[in-house]
């Protein structure tokens, strides 16, 4: 079932080739084969360029070869400027000539249906059999702005000057949207080091590029536009690796609206909200989710500074009081703290700025002072870097005319470099006025400059979240998932297509160490009394039948039963009502259970997502799930931190924390159950269709699963504990 994974280093032949052949090179200025040669020359490509055309000797001053076989060196990359009809033949020629990688722009493959897919599969097979890395088909190509490798037919990519290059790679599943993002980023002063359009991903896919960039020393931030990841397991492993080396991954995932979080109501069976699952997946892998192209740009800019704020305490320095208020509004809306400065720091600042300026946060230098004495912008910074309570310093407005040679700018950069606090600059997005003269110098020195239209505060909030999670992960090392259990009794219960009875489902939970209600199965009245006395009054009596999953509907449940006589009566009534409700139901007996004291009712479940496999869900019962759809999702397996995050991200956490003087519920116990459910879901990922523990009752200390429902997939039992994964 695993998708084949190739060695990412071979991709170097595609992204950093030394020799590039252009198949179908042409002197005709309207042809792709000409434009591609021109693009490499204009880009200043640093390696060898070999135009290939059987009928030409020179193209744009370059010697043209009649065939691949004539090329004097081994070809790292061949760019196909040929029609789809000739692609297969050309690919075989590449194989014969030991070409390492190719780019195929042509369309007419899997995107047009079954026949195209077959054509594409043939190409994939040839490439894989010959160890050739293949980008495309149906892509707009790739650009490496560092070595001038411009392999694309898109004028948007070829016509931009290659300045403001940053260590940010960009991978896109949509060509057109990718090109627009590339241009918008370049206009905002961020030129990606790599732009890669993966097209139909016949052989080289999104994750392959992510892996390459993790290993690439010239990339600090990996960004991308994703419509769907076929192999989330692999992306997850890569994300772990990226986090380990602190290379943030920023992804815009489209298709939010198709996700029916509406459906995720009241019952784990309907947890179809795959976009909510992506959200959970991104959170647990610390992949930073961007909402749009502007997020990709601003997040990348900010993350590229390589400073991880230690907290949320933010100080704003501005020369416009109004703008300061607005930025403060935005910060608080995004969960940052507008930090009240200590008296000492405040006094230091007051000594350095004019009396009519304000040393409170936001620090307002006033427009007058800022215009006449721009050096004032440095003064509060000096005091702030000395204050250990300050985590983030945000300049809203900045002297426009300080260029790279300005001694003020150099002093500013020096102070910023001396501190581990994040310092960044936001400006009002006015054409010709938004970008301070020193922007490139600032950004090269880890001080991002982001115009207000790119939502810098949202980017900041994301960076702070990432930093928190990054530190947690470092602390969490060795906090692995609970080991798998080899419970043969559980495997035995996983009958294809079965709906487990409550007692069977409880047995499964108990095998994984999840506390369940004390219970015994009685098949006679006298036995029921004996059970009740052993468990202790009051008790609950319920029908135990796989054919009656909704016992309340059948009136086959009696609560709060105390005393022998009452147990006898309840026993008879439960059986009678069940028989009336469904005369042909298979009945195992009557389950006698402990009557649980009141606690907070939560829900925990598992659903099986077609893309992600087993997904764990958590939420509070009642209106929280039914009305507010207040549910957290994570893909199994989960860590303890994931479990804690799931609990705390729900609004219902406010109740668990204790409202109106009530004591807090046992959060650790919930996290423990979530991890055990995750272990169960992982062990039986090919078996469990759906698990619903509802309610799971949490106390000040301890937790009990009061009821559970488990259904097994219809298909053959594909895994057992032994055969798992």
Binding site for a second copy (CB under 8 A): 174, 176-177, 180, 183-184, 187, 225, 227, 254-257, 266, 292-294, 320-323, 325-326, 328-329, 331-333, 338, 367, 428-431, 433, 452-453, 623-624, 626-628, 651-652, 654-655, 659-660
**CB closer to a second copy, 234 vs 339:** 339
Neighbours of 82 (CB within 10 A): 20
**CB closer to a second copy, 659 vs 722:** 659
Q: What whole-number distance in Å separates Cα of residue 182 and Cα of residue 251? A: 14
Q: What angle do CA 597, 602, 606 make, to 5 degrees?
A: 130
Q: Tokens 């909200």, residue?
A: 273
Provide the terminal-to-terminal Cα distance of the chain, rounded to the nearest Å: 9
Give the shortest CB-660-to-a second copy separation in angstroms: 7
**CB closer to a second copy, 91 vs 646:** 646
Cβ atoms of 541 and 564 closer than 8 Å: no
Cβ atoms of 349 and 363 closer than 8 Å: yes
Q: What whole-number distance in Å separates Cα of residue 461 and Cα of residue 468? A: 11
Please, which residues bridge with residue 182 across strands? none
**CB closer to a second copy, 125 vs 256:** 256
Q: What whole-number distance in Å separates Cα of residue 690 and Cα of residue 516? A: 18
- Contact partners, residue 78, CB within 8 Å, separation at least 6: 20, 21, 22, 23, 68, 90, 94, 99, 101, 102, 103
> Dihedral through CA 383, CA 389, CA 391, CA 393, nearest 10?
-30
Give the shortest CB-78-to-a second copy separation in angstroms: 25
Q: What whole-number distance in Å separates Cα of residue 232 and Cα of residue 238? A: 10
**CB closer to a second copy, 280 vs 652:** 652
Give the shortest CB-281-to-a second copy separation in angstroms: 18
Q: What angle do CA 38, 42, 47 make, to 5 degrees?
A: 90
Give the shortest CB-159-to-a second copy separation in angstroms: 11
**CB closer to a second copy, 28 vs 428:** 428
Give the shortest CB-104-to-a second copy separation in angstroms: 17
Neighbours of 329 (CB within 10 A): 12
**CB closer to a second copy, 10 vs 184:** 184
Distances (CA, A) of 200 to 12, 32, 87, 106, 515: 20, 20, 15, 11, 48
**CB closer to a second copy, 65 vs 225:** 225
**CB closer to a second copy, 482 vs 622:** 622
**CB closer to a second copy, 481 vs 628:** 628
Give the shortest CB-259-to-a second copy separation in angstroms: 9
Give the shortest CB-170-to-a second copy separation in angstroms: 14
Cβ atoms of 491 and 485 closer than 8 Å: no
Neighbours of 228 (CB within 10 A): 13
User: Following DSSP, what letter does each residue of 677-719 receive, concatenated?
Assistant: HHHHHHHTTTTEEEEEEEEEEE-SS-EEE--EEEEE-SS----
Q: Which two structure tokens, joined as six digits, stand for 570?
A: 């309840």
Please, which residues bridge with residue 337 across strands? 313
* Stretch (H or E) spanning 476: helix 456-476
**CB closer to a second copy, 470 vs 628:** 628
**CB closer to a second copy, 76 vs 201:** 201
Give the shortest CB-322-to-a second copy separation in angstroms: 3
Give the shortest CB-35-to-a second copy separation in angstroms: 15
Give the shortest CB-359-to-a second copy separation in angstroms: 17
Give the shortest CB-429-to-a second copy separation in angstroms: 7
Give the shortest CB-210-to-a second copy separation in angstroms: 19
Phi then psi for 604, rounded to 5 degrees?
-135, 135
Map 338-391 to HEC letters. Answer: ECCCCHHHHHHHHHHCCCCCECCCCEECCHHHHHHCHHHHHHHHHHHHCCCCCC
**CB closer to a second copy, 148 vs 321:** 321
Q: What whole-number distance in Å separates Cα of residue 560 and Cα of residue 539? A: 5
Q: What whole-number distance in Å separates Cα of residue 670 and Cα of residue 683? A: 20
Give the shortest CB-264-to-a second copy separation in angstroms: 14
Give the shortest CB-702-to-a second copy separation in angstroms: 23
Give the shortest CB-327-to-a second copy separation in angstroms: 10
Give the shortest CB-260-to-a second copy separation in angstroms: 11
Cα dihedral sign, 96-102-107-108: positive
Please, which residues bridge with residue 540 across strands? 593
**CB closer to a second copy, 332 vs 533:** 332
Phi then psi for 367, rounded to 5 degrees?
-60, -40
Phi then psi for 223, rounded to 5 degrees?
-125, 160
Give the shortest CB-226-to-a second copy separation in angstroms: 11
**CB closer to a second copy, 260 vs 613:** 260
Q: What whole-number distance in Å separates Cα of residue 126 and Cα of residue 95? A: 8
**CB closer to a second copy, 244 vs 292:** 292
**CB closer to a second copy, 326 vs 648:** 326
Sheet hosting strand 519-522, strand order edge to edge: 519-522, 589-594, 539-544, 557-561
């Amino acid at each position: 079932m695993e998708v084949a994974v190739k060695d990412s280093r071979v991709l170097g032949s595609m992204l950093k080739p030394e020799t590039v052949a252009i198949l179908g090179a042409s002197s005709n200025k309207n042809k792709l084969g000409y434009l591609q040669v021109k693009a490499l020359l204009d880009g200043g490509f640093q390696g060898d360029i070999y135009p290939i055309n059987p009928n030409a000797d020179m193209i744009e001053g370059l010697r043209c070869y009649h065939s691949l076989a004539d090329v004097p060196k081994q070809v790292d990359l061949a760019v196909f400027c040929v029609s789809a009809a000739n692609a297969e033949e050309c690919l075989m020629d590449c194989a014969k000539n030991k070409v390492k990688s190719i780019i195929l722009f042509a369309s007419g493959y899997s995107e047009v249906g079954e026949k195209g897919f077959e054509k594409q599969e043939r190409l994939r097979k040839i490439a894989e059999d010959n160890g050739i890395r293949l980008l495309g088909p149906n892509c707009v190509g790739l650009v490496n702005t560092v070595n001038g490798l411009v392999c694309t037919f898109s004028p948007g990519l070829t016509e931009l000057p290659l300045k403001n290059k940053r260590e940010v790679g960009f991978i896109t599943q949509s060509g057109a949207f990718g090109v627009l993002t590339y241009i918008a980023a370049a206009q905002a002063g961020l030129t990606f080091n790599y732009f890669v359009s993966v097209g139909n991903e016949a052989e080289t896919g999104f994750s392959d590029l992510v892996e390459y960039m993790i290993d690439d020393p010239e990339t600090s931030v990996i960004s991308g536009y994703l419509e769907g990841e076929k192999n989330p397991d692999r992306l997850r492993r890569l994300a772990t690796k990226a986090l380990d080396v602190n290379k943030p991954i920023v992804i815009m995932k489209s298709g939010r609206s198709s996700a029916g979080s509406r459906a995720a109501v009241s019952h784990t069976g309907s947890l179809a909200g795959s976009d909510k699952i992506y959200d959970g997946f991104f959170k647990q892998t610390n992949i930073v989710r961007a909402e749009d192209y502007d997020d990709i740009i601003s997040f990348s800019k900010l993350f590229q500074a390589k400073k991880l704020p230690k907290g949320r305490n933010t100080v704003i320095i501005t020369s416009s009081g109004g703008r300061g208020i607005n930025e403060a509004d935005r910060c608080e809306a995004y969960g940052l703290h507008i930090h009240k400065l200590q008296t000492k720091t405040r006094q230091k600042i007051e000594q350095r700025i004019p009396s009519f300026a304000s040393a409170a946060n936001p620090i307002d230098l006033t427009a007058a002072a800022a215009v006449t004495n721009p050096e004032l912008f440095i003064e509060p910074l000096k005091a702030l870097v000395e204050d250990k309570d300050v985590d983030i310093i945000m300049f809203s407005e900045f002297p426009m005319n300080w260029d790279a040679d300005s001694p003020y700018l150099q002093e500013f950069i020096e102070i910023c470099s001396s501190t581990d606090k994040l310092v960044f600059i936001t400006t009002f997005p006015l054409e010709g006025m938004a970008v301070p003269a020193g922007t490139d110098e600032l950004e090269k020195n880890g001080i991002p400059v982001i115009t207000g239209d790119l939502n810098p505060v949202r980017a900041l909030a994301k960076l702070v979240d990432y930093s928190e999670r990054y530190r947690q992960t470092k602390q969490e090392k060795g906090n692995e998932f609970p080991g798998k259990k080899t419970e043969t009794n559980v495997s035995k219960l996983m009958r294809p297509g079965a709906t487990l009875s409550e007692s069977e489902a409880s047995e499964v939970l108990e095998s994984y160490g999840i506390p369940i209600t004390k219970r015994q199965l009685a098949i006679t009245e006298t036995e029921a009394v004996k059970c009740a006395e052993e468990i202790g009054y009051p008790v609950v009596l319920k029908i135990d039948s796989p054919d009656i999953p909704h016992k309340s509907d059948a009136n086959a449940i009696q609560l709060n039963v105390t005393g022998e006589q009452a147990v006898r009566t309840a026993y008879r009534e439960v059986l009678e009502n069940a028989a009336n409700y469904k005369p042909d139901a298979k009945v195992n007996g009557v389950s006698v259970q402990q009557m649980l004291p009141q606690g907070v009712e939560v829900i925990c479940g598992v659903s099986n997502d077609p893309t992600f496999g087993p997904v764990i869900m958590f939420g509070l019962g009642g209106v929280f799930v039914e009305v507010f759809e207040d549910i957290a999702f994570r893909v199994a397996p989960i860590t303890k931190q994931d479990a804690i995050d799931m609990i705390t991200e729900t609004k219902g956490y406010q109740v668990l924390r204790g409202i109106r003087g009530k004591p807090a519920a046992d959060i650790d116990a919930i996290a423990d159950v979530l991890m055990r459910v995750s272990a169960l879901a992982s062990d039986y990922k090919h078996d469990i269709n759906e698990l619903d523990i509802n309610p799971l009752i949490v106390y000040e200390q301890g937790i009990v699963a009061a009821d559970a429902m488990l259904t097994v997939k219809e298909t053959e039992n594909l895994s057992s504990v032994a055969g798992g994964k």
